[in-house]
Structure 1
């Protein structure tokens, strides 16, 4: 009886045209890597959902090759190689497909999901070259173990592969994502095939700080997917940490290493559960465009099939809709995530960023250097948050805003309010993708009085330390007309922060520490005057000193 991977798929010729020397015929090559001859009578080969072909009686000797192709192509190959032809040989799509080889009893001996990305050569991907397995000692490993043939004729049917040897960059198995999370089950997706025995061992899985029992079920034929079943059931609005033991190995027997991954049962978000907290719209050579989002709720939010949207500046209607990810990606409560089209560039520019807080999107919206409006939309087309951005929203004393992000100051204030955004600090490197903003203001820092501001001193140098003052107004009723002005100690008006503005019950405004013409002010104390008037006759008035400091080094 044959064992799994005694006979393997060793070469795939899916795109014969244009020919560089081989027959204009699709084929697959098998290799008997066992130490025994095997009769292939009743074996089957299939490509995707197409009907399989069944092999005739053929004694396949050890360490030899066998080519399967269409029967009309038999005369086109060398008569020195082993060949089997079929009138109904299944098509091999150029883009890729799942290929399965089964024995006469229906047991899967070898299967792979090939891809046109395996060529690793754009010219050869256009056709005429086969895909060759590099190291047949590890046929279950696909990443870095297949590539376009280097043969001058385009392939090596029935003979040793041109790239036969050892894998240069071994692709260690890792957990890619946790999908389809329900109360009683979820799915683990790995990048490479696992050893089914170690993957089926329940002792290799733990939910930290719980008594939940886990039953794992590795899924054939490639064992890249493991179903986990839970008893008792998981709870909503709770984050779990899954621990995978290093005793789980890939199909070559190499351990995956210790893995800890957070997940939970996803819930539908409400408006403002997911916020846009940072936007870099003027990219530089070192920094790509990105949009940072923040889970402002206690829910686990799955971003699968969510979208970034942009608006037409003239009609204010949705102009562009771009998918964030087609696969499951869970954003935990209180976590930040930077969305970009170039994760590697962000990682190379900003030290100390956790790659788990960055996501390369499936597609990308265009962020105009002239400014605009963007938003985030659920898979049910519900808009959760909208944010504006523009060059004039940057710190006025910045000479160059390329590679500088706009950071949201307060999550309790709308993202459509330009005064709720500020340039990221110099000390942060002018951006904070995937982590707390350098210019963020926590609600706990705001006093619960009618008129307050924080901090009490300001040094407007954009170094991330007291770069601006947030003025908070809290009223017992709506309808107040309010004014906030800055005066010198001599009573000279320096700047209007607001002037007779109609206020709601709670408002926030930002002063950047500059004068009316965006000039830097002399060091010293200034007076902040607050006045409010209500149509019912109530009047409020307060004034306080604010200290302007020189640049902090």
Structure 2
């Protein structure tokens, strides 16, 4: 930077003496001023005009630039003649402002006038590095629509950053017509003015330019005054300053008499002032005189600016000290030291924050920060004492002796004042990475908008820095992400018969959210009180004056709720809830299982509430078996999650993976677990355990339960056939190959209960075992009226030949069903045609009955 400033300062006398004016009357463009770039592809012709003279190659781009720092309070003028029909491949861009000598670079920032393009117009654009140009002023179409387009252009930019584009198609400069006005202050620094032309082969010599003139008649304007320390100020002007006056100490006066000890021009328009004494507490006044811009425009009057100074080293209040970066999983390291860290940020603009005595807590431990200070807008990285030297290269570092171990999957982190009052809290999760690769380690989580600390997951993402993080530095993902949306009530749970927990999608104004008049319940129950739960302030507990009733659906309405940013929810928000009942085994059953996912896929287990109760899954477990012992139990959820009658829930470690593999999945039905028990591809047992340790349901599966005629079984789930049937192999079938799985919605092989009016009934009587999810199998439904019967069922074809022994001497319940999937005894598919179920029924008292039921195997011929 210092070398660049030196070069710019050496050029100041040239610019100050002449501004930019070139009509090429000297016959060249190599001096007074000097143009550089594709110098060999331009000439000054006999008419003393700058003319393109590049290679006759379609797609060629030529450019010339000359130094110019004119930026605001400026008028740019020039003449151009394009002896061609303009198009998307034949046009010119005149860069009024550029921070890059290479106008064609994607890294360039600036503004340019485009003559031509598809609508044959003259327009003003803004260029942002790495992005497509932004149209600021859209000129009138067809103003340069001939084969010999002459135009004189004038652009002004006022000190308030108002642009105006005018053109004179006579070329005389006497008939300017405004093309529009726009406000834009995005870019406030320039290094170059230049010409860029793009053409097809026939037009390599058809661009002519003349009468370039840049005029700045406005004195500099002070845009920003910022106190950096107790004795240091940064002044930001709207344009570059003449160095001598900018660095003259006598031109600055603090509070009427105090002169700075240092006046330093750190950048072209930025002055650093250092005083020998601290600023006064409260109001201070700085007077500035005699400053000039690069073109000799001197301040007409002294500038007087009053500013307030806040004393240093104050204890931070709520949301003044933030956690803005978390390295929870440091391995494998990408480019940073392999060490967990937490980054803190002073979110104030005028306070020096004292960290002494601040408590940093995770889910299991608390540590106290040492005596350190954080300037406004300053970052600091917190690491173990032993790692301080490894991080000093990145910025400010604080070492602590008992650094908390950070949970890779996520946990609650809190900052509290020495008196225990909350400063900031964040409950991060590895889902916040929004990138499955980066969440495997070596990448930090970064806050996107540090001015929006109330936001949650949407304001965090994985670092984009190639090193894996930005400790003690501005975050690589930094962007504006303002919160203009009121809070939304997303869940309600009855945590007891007289308490309802409400969960909002963002942090609330805890005072307003605790107002009892903001809530009501229907059917009507009087409210006894409201509590907002810290430290995240997203949960509200409503206390009732009388108990809720089971199997009753209630509606709670919330009004006038405000988030901590101040966004007010004007419309009432209603949500339903119910008091959970005590579960019984069989109320919640396993409805679908994916144990053999596709490559890079994950398992899932789908449960369904088949009772008429509302059941809370809090502290339920999912497990497997080792021999005859239930083992490897995983907690499904530690907070309330109520299943309504008939509701599905999909348990998986990676919902996004399942949703990507099965686009029709019901996204609202997913419940993420940190991990699932092991469910091998060949065989295993799934166990669902209630909080009272009773088994809610259990399913032993094996790969052979999939339909034998399906070639690729990877990613294919087993689905429950009948909701009220037993959790046994005969009540599960491969999902239809048209969907492969149905996570969160009705199974593709789901079949309503068939009540046999006689001993045996076949449903459907015609089926097609083709895996399309429509009548892929036939069921033999039975109703014996009592238990104790034994049955043997054999399948015969129309010629009386035995096809398959479906069951042999199987003990029956009083009602149920058996399933034939259309396969013969050898595993091959039965041919299309008629078949007979020959059923032999034996009773405990010697009863013997025979039944014959017809079924048809269908399919496409």
TM-score, length-scaled by structure 2? 0.52
Unaligned residue ranges in structure 1 (runs of 5+): none
List per-residue Cα deviations over 1:304-330 (Å, max 9, x = no partner): 222222123xx3333422222233222
Question: Whose RCO is larger (CA < 8 A, sep 6+)?
Answer: 1
| CA contact 1:407–1:422 (8 Å) conserved in 2 | yes
- Out of 394, 404, 420, the residue aligned to residue 731 of structure 2 is 420
> Take 1:367 and 1:455, find their aligned partners in 2: how far apart are those partners?
33
| CA contact 2:319–2:453 (8 Å) conserved in 1 | no
> Take 2:631 and 2:440, find their aligned partners in 1: how far apart are those partners?
38
| CA contact 1:181–1:264 (8 Å) conserved in 2 | no
| CA contact 2:319–2:424 (8 Å) conserved in 1 | no
**How many residues matched?**
522
> Take 1:367 and 1:339, find their aligned partners in 2: how far apart are those partners?
13
| CA contact 2:326–2:446 (8 Å) conserved in 1 | no
Q: Name 1:474's counterpart in structure 2.
A: 783
- Give, in angstroms, the shift of residue 45 of structure 1: 3.5
- Give, in angstroms, the shift of residue 100 of structure 1: 1.9
Is 1:98 paired with 2:414?
yes
> Take 1:222 and 1:82, find their aligned partners in 2: how far apart are those partners?
28
Is 1:110 paired with 2:423?
yes
Which 10-residue stretch deviates more, 288-297 or 506-515? Answer: 506-515
- Out of 818, 823, 826, the residue aligned to residue 517 of structure 1 is 826
> Take 2:421 and 2:746, find their aligned partners in 1: how far apart are those partners?
50
- Give, in angstroms, the shift of residue 422 of structure 1: 1.0
Which 10-residue stretch deviates more, 380-389 or 175-184? Answer: 175-184
- Out of 247, 250, 265, the residue aligned to residue 579 of structure 2 is 265
Q: Name 1:548's counterpart in structure 2.
A: 857
Q: Name 1:304's counterpart in structure 2.
A: 618
Q: Name 1:373's counterpart in structure 2.
A: 685
Unaligned residue ranges in structure 2 (runs of 5+): 1-309, 407-411
Q: Name 1:141's counterpart in structure 2.
A: 455
Which 10-residue stretch deviates more, 321-330 or 168-177? Answer: 168-177
> Take 1:66 and 1:431, find their aligned partners in 2: how far apart are those partners?
48
Change in CA separation of 1:365 and 1:151 when aligned onto 2, cut-off 3 Å: closer
List per-residue Cα deviations over 1:31-73 (Å, max 9, x = no partner): 5446xx8999x997333486979999x9x99x67698999x99
Change in CA separation of 1:493 and 1:186 when aligned onto 2, cut-off 3 Å: same
Q: Name 2:708's counterpart in structure 1.
A: 396
| CA contact 2:502–2:542 (8 Å) conserved in 1 | yes
> Take 2:705 and 2:379, find their aligned partners in 1: how far apart are those partners?
67
| CA contact 1:307–1:321 (8 Å) conserved in 2 | yes
| CA contact 1:144–1:171 (8 Å) conserved in 2 | no
Change in CA separation of 1:119 and 1:528 when aligned onto 2, cut-off 3 Å: closer
List per-residue Cα deviations over 1:353-399 (Å, max 9, x = no partner): 32221222232112211112221112332211111211211112111
> Take 1:68 and 1:286, find their aligned partners in 2: how far apart are those partners?
35
- Give, in angstroms, the shift of residue 525 of structure 1: 2.9
**Aligned pairs (5 A) from 1:490-501:** 490-501=799-810
| CA contact 1:300–1:332 (8 Å) conserved in 2 | yes
Q: Name 1:334's counterpart in structure 2.
A: 646
Is 1:448 paired with 2:757?
yes
| CA contact 1:525–1:545 (8 Å) conserved in 2 | yes
Change in CA separation of 1:457 and 1:115 when aligned onto 2, cut-off 3 Å: closer
| CA contact 2:448–2:481 (8 Å) conserved in 1 | no
- Give, in angstroms, the shift of residue 272 of structure 1: 0.9
> Take 2:325 and 2:752, find their aligned partners in 1: how far apart are those partners?
60
> Take 2:427 and 2:776, find their aligned partners in 1: how far apart are those partners?
54
**Aligned pairs (5 A) from 1:310-325:** 310-312=624-626, 315-325=627-637
Q: Name 2:305's counterpart in structure 1.
A: none
Q: Name 1:529's counterpart in structure 2.
A: 838
- Give, in angstroms, the shift of residue 509 of structure 1: 0.8
Change in CA separation of 1:201 and 1:464 when aligned onto 2, cut-off 3 Å: same
> Take 1:164 and 1:406, find their aligned partners in 2: how far apart are those partners?
42
Is 1:227 paired with 2:541?
yes
Is 1:253 paired with 2:530?
no
List per-residue Cα deviations over 1:126-149 (Å, max 9, x = no partner): 79x9x9866453333354657879
SS in 2 for 1:402: coil
| CA contact 2:630–2:687 (8 Å) conserved in 1 | no
**Aligned pairs (5 A) from 1:115-126:** none
Q: Name 1:435's counterpart in structure 2.
A: 745
Change in CA separation of 1:494 and 1:45 when aligned onto 2, cut-off 3 Å: closer
> Take 1:288 and 1:27, find their aligned partners in 2: how far apart are those partners?
33
Q: Alpha carbon RMSD of aligned pairs, Å? A: 4.8
> Take 2:540 and 2:733, find their aligned partners in 1: how far apart are those partners?
45
| CA contact 2:454–2:564 (8 Å) conserved in 1 | yes
List per-residue Cα deviations over 1:456-501 (Å, max 9, x = no partner): 2211112122211111222233332323233333333333322333
Q: Name 2:774's counterpart in structure 1.
A: 465
Q: Name 2:668's counterpart in structure 1.
A: 356
Q: Name 1:274's counterpart in structure 2.
A: 588
- Give, in angstroms, the shift of residue 185 of structure 1: 0.8
Change in CA separation of 1:420 and 1:258 when aligned onto 2, cut-off 3 Å: farther
- Give, in angstroms, the shift of residue 211 of structure 1: 1.9
- Give, in angstroms, the shift of residue 99 of structure 1: 0.9
TM-score, length-scaled by structure 1? 0.77
| CA contact 2:798–2:835 (8 Å) conserved in 1 | yes
List per-residue Cα deviations over 1:96-152 (Å, max 9, x = no partner): 7311237xxx6947333476968999799979x9x9866453333354657879799
| CA contact 1:8–1:31 (8 Å) conserved in 2 | yes
> Take 2:429 and 2:644, find their aligned partners in 1: how far apart are those partners?
35
> Take 2:441 and 2:769, find their aligned partners in 1: how far apart are those partners?
55
| CA contact 1:286–1:403 (8 Å) conserved in 2 | no
- Give, in angstroms, the shift of residue 521 of structure 1: 3.1
- Give, in angstroms, the shift of residue 165 of structure 1: 5.8
Change in CA separation of 1:44 and 1:68 when aligned onto 2, cut-off 3 Å: farther
Change in CA separation of 1:198 and 1:488 when aligned onto 2, cut-off 3 Å: same
Change in CA separation of 1:236 and 1:279 when aligned onto 2, cut-off 3 Å: same
| CA contact 1:119–1:125 (8 Å) conserved in 2 | no
